[in-house]
């Protein structure tokens, strides 16, 4: 039994025929689409149904919803200040989408939406688009001062180039970080699972050795839960930091 650890990242249509086509590109209903729908429906239902505004003592579900709300609100507030709170719905959506995608991906046999570079890159580009629009809307052409740090004049050209490169590489670093983390974790789990199977199948003296990769899987699985949360957090906090720069340039850090 040859297990391909990359198999789990394959996007398979659940309905063989394309639903329709956009500009000549066929759109399928895929396993990833199903997971995305599950993610957004589950998080929407959870965050709306678990909460009753009149409840003085929250239930467990409401408490969790409120904690995630306040977690993101505090994150935005500390990273961008008071005027960043208008981005709350966006950052909250981003955080919940990535977090739930990561966690739903942990269910065996499901699909990790965020293990696709197309998804993470699209999200990162959306973030940068909003950052750029915010920057120009707030500061106009002065937004370009973002690339001009306070430094002696003779070193400035070099710094401007560095700042430009760093700014342009942000969508890539933002998307690749999330994508690679999820991809690597799930690949690692699949590889070790393959070891368990092949050692077990080898039989004889090798069979008891299959316990070792199994134990490793348990450890990595725990680590993956941490990574699932951490990457969602990192994605959200970096979004806040970029938004802060768009809002305040280099005025106060």
Partner 1 sequence: MQEHAATTETTEAPKKEGGFPPFDTTTFPTQFFWLVVTFAFLFTVMWRLAGPKINAAITNRRGTINGAIAEASKARAEAEAAQAGYETALAGARSRGNALAEETRQKLNTEIAKAKAEADSKAADAMAAAEARIAQTRETAKGHVKTAARDAAIAIVERLTGDKVSAEDATAALGN
Q: Report the interface residues with partner 1, using CB under 8 A.
A: 2, 4, 6, 9-13, 16-18, 22, 25-28, 30, 32-33, 36-37, 39-40, 43-44, 47-48, 51-56, 58, 62, 65-66, 69-70, 88-90, 92-93, 96-97, 115-119, 122-123, 126, 179, 183
Whole-number minimum distance, CB 156 to partner 1, in Å?
39
* Count of other CB atoms within 10 angstroms of residue 175: 24
Whole-number minimum distance, CB 82 to partner 1, in Å?
15
Of the two residues 26 and 219, which places its CB atom closer to partner 1 in the complex?
26
Whole-number minimum distance, CB 52 to partner 1, in Å?
7
Whole-number minimum distance, CB 193 to partner 1, in Å?
17
Of the two residues 111 and 242, which places its CB atom closer to partner 1 in the complex?
111
Of the two residues 176 and 237, which places its CB atom closer to partner 1 in the complex?
176
Of the two residues 113 and 196, which places its CB atom closer to partner 1 in the complex?
113
Instruction: Could you list the beta-strand ranges (E) of the chain.
Output: 20-22, 25-27
Q: Please name the helix (run of DSSP H) or strand (run of DSSP E) that holds residue 181, with its range, or none.
A: helix 156-202
Of the two residues 12 and 250, which places its CB atom closer to partner 1 in the complex?
12
81-85 contacts, C-beta under 8 A, 24 or more apart:
81/244, 81/247, 81/248, 83/247, 84/240, 84/243, 84/244, 84/247
Whole-number minimum distance, CB 26 to partner 1, in Å?
7
Of the two residues 54 and 152, which places its CB atom closer to partner 1 in the complex?
54
* Count of other CB atoms within 10 angstroms of residue 165: 11
Residues 6+ apart with CB under 8 A from 128: 170, 171, 174, 242
Cα(108)–Cα(217) distance, integer angstroms: 13
DSSP assignment of 198-217: HHHHH-TTSGGGGHHHHHHH
CB 100 within 8 A of CB 42: yes
Whole-number minimum distance, CB 33 to partner 1, in Å?
4
């Amino acid at each position: 039994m040859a297990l391909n650890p990359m198999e789990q990242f394959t996007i398979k249509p659940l309905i063989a025929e394309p639903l329709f086509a956009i500009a000549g590109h066929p759109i399928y209903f895929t396993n990833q689409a199903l997971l995305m729908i599950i993610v957004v429906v589950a998080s929407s239902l959870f965050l709306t149904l678990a909460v009753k505004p009149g409840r003085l003592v929250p239930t467990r579900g409401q408490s969790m919803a409120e904690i995630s709300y306040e977690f993101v609100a505090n994150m935005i507030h500390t990273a961008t200040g008071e005027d960043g709170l208008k981005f709350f719905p966006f950052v909250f959506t981003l955080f919940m989408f990535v977090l739930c995608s990561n966690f739903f991906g942990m269910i065996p046999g499901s699909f990790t939406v965020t293990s696709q570079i197309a998804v993470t890159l699209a999200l990162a580009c959306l973030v940068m688009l909003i950052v750029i629009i915010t920057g120009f809307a707030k500061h106009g052409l002065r937004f370009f001062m973002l690339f001009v740090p306070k430094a002696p004049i003779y070193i400035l050209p070099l710094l401007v180039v560095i700042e430009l490169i760093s700014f342009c590489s942000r969508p890539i670093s933002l998307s690749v970080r999330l994508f690679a983390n999820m991809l690597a974790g799930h690949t690692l789990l699949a590889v070790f699972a393959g070891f368990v199977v092949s050692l077990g199948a080898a039989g004889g003296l090798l069979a008891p050795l299959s316990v070792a990769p199994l134990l490793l899987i348990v450890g990595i699985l725990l680590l993956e839960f941490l990574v699932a949360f951490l990457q969602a957090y990192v994605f959200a906090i970096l979004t806040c930091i970029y938004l802060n720069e768009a809002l305040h340039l280099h005025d106060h850090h």
